[in-house]
Structures are given as structure tokens and as C-alpha cells.
Amino acid sequence: MRLFALFGALLYVASTSWALHESDVGVMDWHKRLVGVPLTGSVATAPTFYTAGNKSLILTATNNNVLAALDSEDGSIAWRYLFEPEDRIAAFYKGADMVVTLSGPGGSTLRTFETLTGEIILEKRMHSPELGHLAEPPYLGKAVAFVPNSSDVYILTNGYTIQHMDGNTGDIKWTWSSPDQSSLVIYSKLVFTSSALYAIGLAKSTASLTLHVTSFSPATGELIHSTNIPSSIENPFAQFTTLTHPEVSIPRAVWLENGAVKSFGLVPKLTGKPVSVKGEEYEGISDIGLGEYGRLVGIKKDGSGKVLKLSNDGLESFWEFKESATSEQHAPSAYAGGIDKNGDPYVVRVYWSHTMKQAVADTFSGHLAEGRGLSTGSLFPFDSRTHGVISHVALSASNQSQYKVISRIVLTTSTGAIQVWEQGQLLWTREESLATIMLAEFVELPEKVVAERLAAQTDEEHWFARVARQLKSTQNLPQYLLHFVKRFVTGSYASASSSAAVTTADAKPSGPLARDAFGFRQVIVAATVMGKVYGIDSSNGDILWSRVLGLGWAQMVGGRVQPVKMFVVKTVSDGGDPEVVLVAQRRADNTLVDTVIFHFNAVTGEDARGVSPADEVFEGLDIISGPIVEAYLLQNDTRVVILLDEYLQVYLYPDTPKTQAAFVQAAPSLTFPLRTSAGGQRRLTGHQVALNLDVSERYVAYPTWTLSLPEKEDISTLIPAMRGPVASLGKVLGNRTTLYKYLNPRLFVLLTASHAVEPTTCGLYVVDSAKGTIVYRVELPSSGGKCDIKTSLTENWLVYHYYDSDSDGTSDVRRSKGYRMVTVELYEGHGVDQKTRSSDMSAYSNETLDLTAYEQAYVFPHAITALAPTSTKFGITSKDLIVATRNNRIQSFPRRLLNPRRPNRKTTAEEAEEYLIPYDPVLPDDPRRVLSHTYEQVANVQQIVTSPALLESTSLVFTLGLDLFLTRVAPSNTFDVLSENFNKVQLVLTVSALAVAIMFTKPMVQRKRLREKWYQ
């Protein structure tokens, strides 16, 4: 019996240990390339089709400062170009075989790309960025005009400078600048004809804006004529455009004035007069991207849309969309234009029909039906509950006969999705709002058995049913034991990369969502700027669920939902599915701001409060009638969310008698560091900023201390320390002495910027939040007048990165410019073997400043956009520092390499025993430490989130920004991983033999000891 008991115990211990094959570590990663949400405010940046032969692309500029080309057949990225943050893209213009972009202040930089491949043909500085005029919107004051059948282009920058350039070589043939370079006249359009080049802009007048036109000689740039056109334009961004057509000799400038659509013929001497479109009254004109084909849409007073056509006699009405007037039966219409391979134009009207619960596309083809014009319509099931409303439309069309049109439309939605539909069929969808993630949290999934029970459990399970289910499960116990022994002996485990352990795109799981054997599969709950929340499968990057955040009462006036904080309020250890609370601010277009709570089931995306159905928009709970100052999670059994408004009033979620009692009990010991000064009646003055609040009453918090900052020094960022399990409290040195870690749980990092002197200086403080004690402080130089400091604080380890161009502070000798990485470790006392028990120390003890900081600076080869340490389940594994560099790579640095105690000489035997290595001022740029080496680039990473797996040796690393990337790392070389050649049979036989030997020898030893006692 003892042998069977011992063998059963061995099986139990083996079943609770986690291991995977060494060859499987590091192979499970994925990369999701994105382009960002399209900029739809202007035809100069919005999506548009480009067709060459059998290849069809969608060109667009995005709010992530990217110029991208998407394959219209499958939505894949044909190519993309990432602009630097300071080089903001203003507009792009497509020619016959190239795309021209203007970016930077005033359009300071011009680039030309080959349209099909994205290869850069030319990059040229048009003027110094310091001389550029900042304009809003960015496309204002920029324009490009192409010369047909030539590589020459005309470029307008800064609103007053025109240059004639060879698009292939960049040679400037002539330049003209307006003598009036003030803001009285701003040019924004260029029109090229064989007889003249026209610059059209707007001039300020006393009451409104007036159209201004200047004509030039295309060959020499000689000024022909310049004049103001009698006009009155209220909105230059929506009421002004130009029309040309190859078959019309006179192009025209078109604008809206007092309900009339007027136009002016462009001839070299500018001798014409404005004329109006007769018979109609309009409230707007819509540039549908067909300016070069003589088409636009006029919006009449009743909201109906009419196609206006350029002719030799001026501008005339061409076609009116039936039943397009404003109505409760349909949503507002969106209009777009497109051309076919023959250059014939098409116009489409897209709207959502409340009657048919589908979207409708009406396409007008003016050249078909033997010249009479043809209108065709189609329905398509656009899901407004998942993607919001349609915010922009682009069109590509072709005709198979005089009475059959094939239209393909690309939609940009209010939630940031890009969709392509063809004749009512959805071809593909890209969720580009994933490039705008603000908050992300890993959530552990329940085990498969628990997930299946939860999925099958529709009502509350009674006691008798639960007992019956448990008795039934014990019938299969012998079979489970037999299968376990077979797997253990033969090694037939599901590896971490197999479909049995982790779901892949080609092997979808059956049954409810559950974690794999190693805890690599989790749900990443991500909240975006576009008002949408996603549940992402960490094993492959697939979207498990998504919910659109509702605007509540602001739906009537418009607005947006801005995520603020996210908390995991229920984990799998609590039983049932895990849950997440999102704290957000609802900013209505009428300037009102409210604070809203969204409570999610992390596995399914359902409303944990049971208010919003799964197939509807997710409506939150209005909790504060005003903005939120800060929110925290009370880490106790209730996991209550604590919110503070601008008057420092306290709100609880959920607000129940149980949570109220828990809060009242914990309130005397609660302190909250804040980002800004307190508002309302308790507003602080000067440069004293409350960084800590004491909740001494049920619903009111009071400042307990303030941090007095120097004059003109402002708080820029407050970064809380990362919390996690601590495996050891000390570090044993080679000489057997100990350095005890300074583990103050109340620390946070404060970044400041001081504008009192030039250049701007930056401050970094490590502060004890309980009483405002500054534990560590350093002053750093700014980079271009900005305090761009990346920092991380975990346990007793502080790391920060900055650009150094200042003197060392001790002499007039200036160091070389470059990026610096500084690593700091905090230890108790002022030497070895000094213990103050900082982790248990009272916040008001005098020994809170009894510590020593070891620090060391290194030259880092690249700029860093984000950094974070790895995290593991029990904190035993040593930490790596994960960094995202400006050159779009994800790289890891072992803590051993960043040890601030690395000696400036050859290591001694005792130091070598600690694995210390000699100090080198330059951190090696080791390509073997690049985690994203198998991918082309992980672009514009803004945040790194790490999470432990069930394996203590392994940490999940998730990066977000423009691209999404996930991998896993093992900083301590997978000490809990079995090698491929591990002999499991020998282990079983050895342990069994030892157990048998113990059973036989133990009685013999006991009898021997008994005989010895008799002799004694």
C-alpha cells in the first residue's frame, strides 16, 4: 500500500509541474501590420483608388502619419511609408505613375513614390522647416499640379511659393514667391493648362474671404495677371474647389456664395466674370475627387444631392439622386466619385436605410445608356452595431455593357475600420483602429473544464446536480491515470506550438475559449481612441470579440469616448469568467464631459451588468457628471474601483453595501498620487501641486502634502511603479555579505519640465506617495526643447532613457551627443548587511530615506520609443529589459548587462562569482537579442505590456503602436523546461527503485537503532 501511495503522490506532483520542450520556446509569436485610420477630412489625404492594368490599389494617408497602398482585392498592404513624427504628412497627389507627398511645416519636404511598388523616386527639401508656416488643416496652402505626358510638376508650399520642378531629378526650373507673404492671401489650389498656370487662393476682406487668382507662364514663371474675384466665401474648406476636364477648354474655380454655386473661368488675362448655376439654391458643395473630370455634387437646401458638370458654357446641373433629401427613413448621404480604365467618371451615393436595415449604394454613370445616363443601385449588409457609421466613401467602377455597371466601394467607418464592398458582397475588412490602442491588459483564461462547465451552465447549478456531476467525473479516474502514465513515459505531450495547446489561424478550437496547458493563450483586452474595445487572442492575434462604446445621451449631439483606465476586477481564481472595468470620459461635441464605466466579460465581450445585449452598442454607466481626476483599484477581496472627480469627491464602482463597508474600513490608510492639482474649491495655487490625497471621509478626499516645484517647472507625467511578486529580499555578494533591496511599495516616478531657463531642463523624481519624500532625483537635458524621457520602475530597479546633449555639470567640457540609458538599483541602508525591512516599514518612519542608490550610465545606440521589464508568475526569474527602438525593432537586454555595480576594471574572483562583467560605456547592439528579427519592422511602438505565463521561466511580451507584436521570452534560459532527450523512463524507474529501497531499508534501520539502545 505504501508503494501505491508513493506512486500516486509522484503522479500528483508531476501533474502539477509545468514544462515544455526547449525547441518550442520562442517560436510562438505574431505580427499584425497596420497602416492606421485614414484621414478623411480632405480629398488630399482620404482613400482613393489607383488602377494600372490588372492592379488596383487603395491609396490613403492615415492619422498614424503613414502613406499606404492597400491591395483592393484582399486588403493586404502593398506598401507603406512611415513619416517621422515631426514630419507630419499634409497631402498626397497621384499622377499617372507616381505619388507626390508634401509633409512638414508648410510642406517643407517633397517626396515622390512609384505608385505600384512604393519605391522612393525623389526626396527634396522645398524650404527649411523653421521657415514653414503651420496651418490647420495641414493641407491648407499646399498643392501639386502635374504636366500631362511629362515628369514636370508644379508645387505650391507655404501658401505663397510656387516652384516648377522635374519630378525625376528634383531640378528646379523656376520659383515664384508672392510679394505679399503675410497672411492676407493664402493660395491653396494649382491648375495647369497649356496656356497658363493658375494659383487660386483666398484673400481676407472685412466681412468674409474673397477668391484670388494669379496666372503665370508655365515655361518661365512670368506673372501674367493677379486679381481678386468678386466673391464672398464663409467656409473655405467646404465651399471652394476647382474643376477641369480634358474636353473643356476653360477650367473654372467654383465656390458657394449665399446659397448659389458660382464659378469663374480661368483664362490667362483673367478677364471673365463670375456666373451662377441657375434655378437651384444650395447649402453646400462636395468635392468627390473628380475635379479633373469636371464633376462635383451640390447639396441643395432640402439635403438632396445633385451632380454638377463642367461644360464649355460654365457649370450646369447634370443629375439629381432621387429621394436623397433629408429624411427620417435614412441616414445622411455620403458621395464619392471614381473613374474606369477608359477615364469615364462615375458618382455614387451611399447611405444607411433605417427602413431596410441595410446600406444602399446608388451609382450614376453619365456616359452610359447611350448618353442618357444610367443609375444602378445595390444593397449591402453593413453592420452599424460593430463598425459605427460610414464616415467616408471612395469608388472604383467599370461597365460591362451600356446597362451594367460593376462598382467597388471602400468605406471608412467611425470606428476606424476599412471595408471594401463589390456589388453587395464584402471582400475584406481591416480593423485599423487597432493602431490607436490606448490601454491594454492581459487576462488569464479559465481552464478548459471550467470553461465548458460555464458555457453549458445556463441557470444556477443546484447542490444535487453538482454532486452528481462530480461523482460522474470520478468514474473516469482510472482512465485518466492510465493516459497520464502513457504520456509521461512516451513523451507524447502537446507542445506549446501544437494546435492542442495553442490555437492557430488554421486550427480553430472547438468549444468555449480556454487557456492552453502553459498559459500562453490569454485574452488581451484593448481599448482604442476610436471608441471601440477588442478582445485579442494572445496566441495568434485574432480578434475574439469587439464592442462599440455607446455615447449615451451624447448620441444626439455627437462626441467621442476617451479611455482613461482599465482594471481587471475578476480573475479566473475567483471562479467564472474574468471581468474587466474600463473607465472612460465621454466628451460631447457641446463641450460637456462625463465619466462613464464599461464593465466587460473578458472572454465573451458581453456586458457584465447585463444591460447592453451582445448585438447592440455597449452602453456604459454614467458615474460622474464631469471629468475624472484619477481612478484606482482597491486591491482587496472586493476589488472596488475608486474614482475621484475634480472636486475630490469619491465614487465607488460597484457601489454596494459590501463595497462601501470595505472602503470605509480601508479609507484611513488609503493614499492616492494625482497627476494634477486638485480642482474646484480645493484648487492649489502657484507651483504647489497635490500629489497625494488622504481619504479621511466617506466621499471626500483631502490633500495631505504638496510638492513645491521651482518656478516654471510643470509636471508632465506621473508613472506608477510596476507591482509584482518579489522572490528574494536581498542580493548575496561574492564575499557572502548581503545587499537588501529597498522595496518601498509606495514609490512612483514623476517627470517634470522646467522652462525657466534655455534650453529646457527635465527633472526625474522617485517619490514616496505617502508623505512626498523624494527618494531619488536627477536633472536631465531636454531634446529639442521637449522632455522625451522613457522610464520604468519595478521592485528596486529604475531604468530611464534620454537624449544627452548637455554638459556633465561639473566642467565646461561638453560630452558627445547621443542617447543614454541609465540603470539604478536601490538598496537599504548605507552598506552591506544593513536591513531596514523597507517592504514592511511604516510610511512615516524616519528610515524611509535610509537607502543607497547604485547607478550607471551607458551609451545606447538608438532612440527608444517604449521600454518595460519582463514579469513572471512568482518573480523568481531574473528580469530582462524589453525596449522598442526608433528603427522599428524590439530588443531585449538582460539585467546582468544593466547591472550598475559592473566594475570599471577587471573583475575579481568574488565579482566573477556574482556574474559581474567589466563596465563598458556602450551597450552592445547585439542582433541576437532582437526579438522581432524575423519580421521586417514593428513600426512606431508606443507601449510595451508584459505578462507572466504559467511557466515561471517565461514572460509574454506585447507591443502596441502602429503595429501589434507578441512574443515570449525566457530571461533565465528556461530552467523549468525539459530537454528533448530527457529520459523519462529512467526517471520513473530511478524514483521507483529508491522508493522500494526505502521501504525495505527503513525497517532494518529501525531494528538496528533499537538494538543499539539496548546495548547502551
328-355 confidence digits (pLDDT tens): 999 999 999 999 888 899 999 999 998 8
Contact between residue 70 and residue 78 where contact means Cβ atoms under 8 Å apart: yes
Q: What is the pLDDT of residue 135?
A: 78
**Whole-angstrom distance, CA of residue 693 vs CA of residue 684:** 13
Q: What is the pLDDT of residue 680?
A: 42
Place of cell 463598425: 387
Plot region of 531 (φ>0 → left; ψ -120 to 50 → alpha; else → beta): left
Sign of the Cα torsion 728, 730, 731, 735 reads negative
Q: Name the 3-class secondary structure at 435.
A: helix
In a domain, 724, yes or no: yes
Q: Buried b vs exposed e over 955-989: b needs ≥16 C-beta within 10 Å?
A: bbbbbbbbbbbbbbbbbbebebbbeeeeeeeeebe
Burial class (CB in 10 A: 0-12, 13-18, 19+), 291: buried
Mean pLDDT by 10 residues, the chain (1016 residues): 42 38 56 96 94 92 97 96 94 94 96 96 93 85 93 94 93 91 82 95 83 95 93 85 92 93 94 88 92 94 93 88 91 93 92 92 88 88 93 91 88 96 94 97 83 56 58 59 59 47 45 82 96 95 95 92 95 89 96 96 94 92 93 87 88 91 82 59 43 64 70 74 86 91 91 76 88 89 85 94 66 63 95 90 84 94 94 91 94 93 92 91 89 87 95 93 94 77 79 90 87 79
Plot region of 54 (φ>0 → left; ψ -120 to 50 → alpha; else → beta): alpha
Q: What is the pLDDT of residue 455?
A: 59
What pLDDT, in 10s, does the model give residues 292-333?
A: 999 999 999 999 999 999 998 889 888 999 889 999 999 999
* Residue whose C-alpha is closest to residue 295's, from 362, 363, 346: 346
Q: What is the pLDDT of residue 400?
A: 77
In a domain, 401, yes or no: yes
Residues with Cβ within 8 Å of residue 319, at least 6 apart in sequence: 306, 307, 347, 364, 366, 373, 375
In a domain, 179, yes or no: no
Report the 3 state secondary structure along 392-423: EEEEEEEEEECCEEEEEEEEEECCCEEEEEEC
Instruction: Choose one of 845, 860, 875: the last residue of a domain.
Output: 860
User: How many domains does the chain contain in total?
Assistant: 2
In a domain, 632, yes or no: no
Residues with Cβ within 8 Å of residue 321, at least 6 apart in sequence: 304, 305, 306, 307, 333, 349, 362, 364, 375
Instruction: Choose one of 838, 860, 882: the last residue of a domain.
Output: 860
Q: Find the farthest-apart pair of alpha carbons in the chain and give their distance in angstroms, rounded.
A: 134
**Whole-angstrom distance, CA of residue 566 vs CA of residue 945:** 13
* Residue whose C-alpha is closest to residue 363's, from 351, 375, 379: 375
- From residue 180, give the alpha-carbon distance in Å to each of 159, 183, 203, 935: 11, 8, 11, 51
**Whole-angstrom distance, CA of residue 738 vs CA of residue 727:** 15
In a domain, 277, yes or no: no
Residues with Cβ within 8 Å of residue 105, at least 6 apart in sequence: 129, 130, 131, 132, 133, 134
* Residue whose C-alpha is closest to residue 630's, from 506, 774, 740, 748: 748
Place of cell 458555457: 455
Helix 477-490 × helix 2-15 angle, to 10° = 70
**Whole-angstrom distance, CA of residue 645 vs CA of residue 171:** 59
- In this structure, the number of other CB atoms found within 10 A of the CB of residue 905 comes to 8
| CA 74 from centre of chain | 23
| The dihedral formed by the CA atoms of 956, 961, 963 and 967, expressed in degrees to the nearest 10 | -10
For residue 339, the enclosing domain spans 329-415
The CA-based angle 780-781-782, given to 5 degrees, is: 120
Cell of 749: 516616478
Q: Name the 3-class secondary structure at 887.
A: coil
Contact between residue 752 and residue 763 where contact means Cβ atoms under 8 Å apart: yes
Sign of the Cα torsion 8, 12, 17, 19 reads positive
Q: What is the pLDDT of residue 183?
A: 62
Q: Name the 3-class secondary structure at 12.
A: helix
**Whole-angstrom distance, CA of residue 995 vs CA of residue 11:** 14
Q: Is the peptide bond before 478 cis (omega within 30 degrees of 0)?
A: no
In a domain, 849, yes or no: yes
Write down how long the chain is. Answer: 1016
DSSP state of 3: H
| CA 1016 from centre of chain | 80
| CA 103 from centre of chain | 22
DSSP state of 303: S
Instruction: Choose one of 395, 415, 435: the last residue of a domain.
Output: 415
Cα-trace Rg, the chain: 34
